[in-house]
Amino acid sequence: MNVLWVFAHPEPRSLNGALRDDGLRTLRELGHAVRESDLYAMKWNPVVDAADFGGEAGDERLVVGATSARAHARGELSPDIVAEQEKLDWADAVVVQFPLWWYGLPAILKGWFDRVFVKGFGYGVRAEDGRTLRYGEGRLAGKRAMVVLTAGAREPAMGPRGVNGALAEVLFPLHHGTLFYAGMSVLRPFPVYGADRLPAEQFAEAREQLRERLRTLETASPIPFRTQNGGDYDEDLVLRPDHAPGATGLGVHVD
């Protein structure tokens, strides 16, 4: 496969950096073609502004969705955005790696999604019959995505009753609301817990576990999120009462 590795950690000599280096090496050994977006090394600009939209930039009020859609359609997005979109078009699978900071992504990675997944590319895509293609459909459908992350918390504290909340729910905005929204098939994440105090033997174990996950990148079953247009939701995009009857919360969107 063609694999894009998006890396968001400021220190290449960190545990994250070591896992990234080993992961890229493993993918190449398996015969995959690899490209990387090392956002800190690239000094990626995470801030959306009018300059992103080329000829669309001007003195009028900036409406980001509509303006970005026109700039994308006209080929007027800034070159750094276009370069990342070309990588995504090339990729069959995307690995997104980051440390979990304040229950979310580092700002530089959030800004990568903000600027690259513009309307007409990551969202706002329609079928010929006018249906909105999202949540399992869209321009990025057919591509796989896997999150690799480190967390300072120990694993029990990110379990179903842990004080930090279950990891699946912490990652729901990224897994379901970004990657799956844009059409991608999302694989189970690869977390490394207690990362700031990980002894050498546990790091070696984590490295081997990541290698094994990468060996199955092409074949592993994705998280079975319910597709928007698959019949599970009504016209208001509310889950039909015969699915997960009586249940509420984020988990009902997994079949």
Asked whether 182 and 135 are in contact (CB, 8 A), the reply is no
Residue 61's pLDDT is what? 86
- How large is the C-alpha radius of gyration of the chain? 19
Render pLDDT for 228-238 as a digit per residue (tens, 0 to 9): 999 999 999 99
Residue type, 31: G
Tens of pLDDT along the chain (255 residues) come to 999 999 999 999 999 999 999 999 999 999 999 999 999 999 999 999 999 998 655 667 899 999 999 999 999 999 999 999 999 999 999 999 999 999 999 999 999 999 999 999 999 999 989 889 999 999 999 999 999 999 999 999 999 999 999 999 999 999 999 999 999 999 999 999 999 898 999 999 999 999 999 999 999 999 999 999 999 999 999 999 999 999 999 999 999
Render pLDDT for 174-193 as a digit per residue (tens, 0 to 9): 999 999 999 999 999 999 99
Which one, of 111, 129, 156, lies nearest residue 6 by Cα? 111
